[in-house]
Amino acid sequence: MRNKLAKIFASLSNAALAMLLMVPAFAFAEYKLNLQTPNTALGQTIYDLHTLVTWVCVVIFVVVFSEMFYAIYKHRKSVGHPAANFHEHFWVEVAWTILPTLILIAIAVPATKALIQMRDTSEPDMTIKVTGHQWMWGYDYLQGEGEGISFVARLSTPRAQIQGREPKGPNYLLETDNHVVVPTGKKVRVLVTAADVIHAWYVPALAVKQDAIPGFIRDTWFKAKAPGIYRGQCAELCGRDHGFMPIVVEVMTPTDYSAWVAKQKAGMKRPEAVAAAADKAWTLDELKAQGDKVYAANCVACHQATGAGAPPAFPPLTGSKLAVGAKSGAIDMVLNGKPGTAMAPFKHLSDADIAGVLTYIRNNWANKTGDMVTPAEVKAARGGGAPVAAPAAAPAAAAPAAALPASVYYDTGKAVVTDDSKKTLDDVIAQLKANANTKVEITGYTDKTGNLAQNMDLAKDRAVGVRDALIAAGVAKDRINMKPPATVEAGGDPRQARRVDIKPGA
């Protein structure tokens, strides 16, 4: 705590110093004083409406306060002005009630027209669905030219720029990996929704701002005039990285737009690079390197570079049972997310990317599974056809599904495997042989009755016995992780105190 405070104070004094140094720089800065130059007809209407209302306010302000300053100047005691004693005047009071009413009505007329125009989303030329996620935007072209195109757009400013380790680029925080591309002169209806919390899709130059509400779809529209790139941001507080989910709309001429659509469609039909990546025989290090990039782009905002997350909303990955446990659980979490939490589905990433990031997570920080998640496994988990690159997975389906976790029970005081337990052990061995990647954890249990040291030794002997049985059956030694013996509370099923558990593990 002390350190943190000291750090804050140090930074504040640095900031104060920087302030003094910055002052001369203002002279050269470019100051933007008004709304962004609109690129839609409606935007122009709103711009003019804002100008009108502001001028009305300025005029009233000047009139009222010139009276006040006149009084301050002329009606002061120090110049000997005597106080009058009037305190009401019927007609004046009526006048300054009626006059503002008329002015308001005069403003309301153009405001009403603009509002009705603004909310008319009927007869669009094309429709795009926008989905706000923590913290990126998903886009689906639903109708019109480009129908079927779908992608996700994330902040593409490197973290090094944000943290001041690199100079900031001209479009700092207003750049994304994918642009929303639209044609000029077409009415684009935008359906806006969200996957987790409320966001808002805001592009000032297109005069569009619409809250993205999870579970509901709202709409808005724009018709862009000139080609160009228009940048906006999420406008509704949506958690940690609310300031880091920009929107980039690229407006093209209809011809360029058609070309863009054709290119996108071609990319969708023959995702050669993606397919090649999936079929490639990856090594663990290659997958980790791939995963590092994917992690930095998708995961680091919540789960942090240290993997420690920001509990409780964003759980740690380092030391996480789910992350290093059975691969299927980890794959499922990344593919499908966890409803009701900030963990969004990442289905849109390629198999190779998901495999890479999972391999990275399972072999980084305190996590040392030493195995890799292959693109084929991810593909299989998607239900997208038979697994290709994992022949060992085929018998896995046939193997007894529930062999793991298993418990091997012993007679009191003995470390010899009983006949019943031998069958359990055989099932486990069969499953381990079928799944070359599965690892196990072995724990011996005892209770607290009698001599504790003796009990512990017995539990350990039994666990070692199980390990030797597995090794004898051909299971590699590095797939077995021995855990320290554990005790169970007295009063339960006495069998529990003389067992060895075999669990899938790291």
Q: Least distance from C-beta 175 to another protein, angstroms? A: 9
Q: Are 466 and 380 in contact (CB under 8 A)?
A: no
Angstrom distance (rounded) from CA 48 to CA 56: 12
Question: According to the binding rule CB under 8 A, does residue 46 interact with another protein?
Answer: yes
Bridge partners, 133 (sequence order): 136
Task: Give 482-495 as a 3 state SS string.
Answer: ECCCEEECCCCCHH
Angstrom distance (rounded) from CA 74 to CA 67: 10
Q: Which of residues 143-182 bind another protein (CB under 8 A)?
A: 161-164, 168, 170-174
**Binding residues for another protein, how many (CB under 8 A)?**
114
Q: Which of 489, 485, 469 is nearest to 477 (CA)?
A: 469
Interacting residues of 369 by C-beta distance below 8 A, sequence separation 6+ = 324, 362, 363, 439, 506
- The smaller minimum CB distance to another protein, of residues 116 and 397, is found at 116
Q: Which of residues 365-394 bind another protein (CB under 8 A)?
A: none
Q: Least distance from C-beta 225 to another protein, angstroms? A: 17
Q: Least distance from C-beta 403 to another protein, angstroms? A: 36
Q: Are 504 and 431 in contact (CB under 8 A)?
A: no
Question: According to the binding rule CB under 8 A, does residue 310 interact with another protein?
Answer: yes
First to last CA, the chain: 35
Q: Which of residues 194-213 bind another protein (CB under 8 A)?
A: 196-198, 200, 202, 204, 207-211, 213
Q: Are 191 and 128 in contact (CB under 8 A)?
A: yes
- The smaller minimum CB distance to another protein, of residues 139 and 202, is found at 202
Question: According to the binding rule CB under 8 A, does residue 236 interact with another protein?
Answer: yes
Angstrom distance (rounded) from CA 448 to CA 257: 75
Of 3, 34, 255, 451, the residue at the interface with another protein (CB under 8 A) is 34
Torsion of CA 392, 393, 395, 401, to 10 degrees: 130
Angstrom distance (rounded) from CA 94 to CA 79: 32
Of 88, 123, 272, 489, the residue at the interface with another protein (CB under 8 A) is 88
Q: Which of residues 103-142 bind another protein (CB under 8 A)?
A: 104, 107-108, 111-112, 114-116, 118-119
> Among 311-319, 344-352, 384-392, 432-440, which window interacts with another protein (CB under 8 A)?
311-319
DSSP 456: H
- Cα–Cα–Cα angle for 82, 86, 87, rounded to 5 degrees: 130
Q: What is the DSSP string of 36-67?
A: PPP-BHHHHHHHHHHHHHHHHHHHHHHHHHHH
Question: According to the binding rule CB under 8 A, does residue 78 interact with another protein?
Answer: yes
Question: According to the binding rule CB under 8 A, does residue 26 interact with another protein?
Answer: yes
Q: Are 388 and 376 in contact (CB under 8 A)?
A: yes
Question: According to the binding rule CB under 8 A, does residue 31 interact with another protein?
Answer: yes
Of 53, 322, 486, 490, the residue at the interface with another protein (CB under 8 A) is 53
Of 140, 241, 441, 461, the residue at the interface with another protein (CB under 8 A) is 241
Any idea how long the chain is?
Answer: 506
DSSP 155: B
Q: Which of residues 465-504 bind another protein (CB under 8 A)?
A: none
Q: Which of residues 401-430 bind another protein (CB under 8 A)?
A: none
> Among 336-344, 359-367, 376-384, 447-455, which window interacts with another protein (CB under 8 A)?
336-344
Of 39, 40, 233, 320, the residue at the interface with another protein (CB under 8 A) is 233
For the chain, how big is the Rg over CA atoms in Å?
34
Q: Least distance from C-beta 345 to another protein, angstroms? A: 14
Q: Least distance from C-beta 441 to another protein, angstroms? A: 29
- The smaller minimum CB distance to another protein, of residues 26 and 472, is found at 26
Question: According to the binding rule CB under 8 A, does residue 32 interact with another protein?
Answer: yes
Angstrom distance (rounded) from CA 462 to CA 421: 12
Of 186, 225, 242, 460, the residue at the interface with another protein (CB under 8 A) is 242
Of 151, 244, 365, 409, the residue at the interface with another protein (CB under 8 A) is 244
> Among 59-67, 249-257, 275-283, 410-418, which window interacts with another protein (CB under 8 A)?
59-67
- The smaller minimum CB distance to another protein, of residues 96 and 452, is found at 96
Amino acid letter for position 49: L
Q: Which of 369, 362, 295, 365 is nearest to 331 (CA)?
A: 362
Q: Are 218 and 193 in contact (CB under 8 A)?
A: yes
Q: Which of residues 245-304 bind another protein (CB under 8 A)?
A: none
- The smaller minimum CB distance to another protein, of residues 106 and 452, is found at 106
Of 6, 57, 366, 486, the residue at the interface with another protein (CB under 8 A) is 57
Q: Going along 87-187, which residue ranges are E strands?
A: 126-133, 136-143, 150-153, 180-183
Question: According to the binding rule CB under 8 A, does residue 101 interact with another protein?
Answer: yes
Q: Coil, strand or helix: which one is 445?
A: strand
Question: According to the binding rule CB under 8 A, does residue 339 interact with another protein?
Answer: yes
- The smaller minimum CB distance to another protein, of residues 93 and 468, is found at 93
Of 2, 3, 33, 451, the residue at the interface with another protein (CB under 8 A) is 33
Angstrom distance (rounded) from CA 504 to CA 371: 13
Q: Which of residues 438-457 bind another protein (CB under 8 A)?
A: none
Question: According to the binding rule CB under 8 A, does residue 77 interact with another protein?
Answer: yes
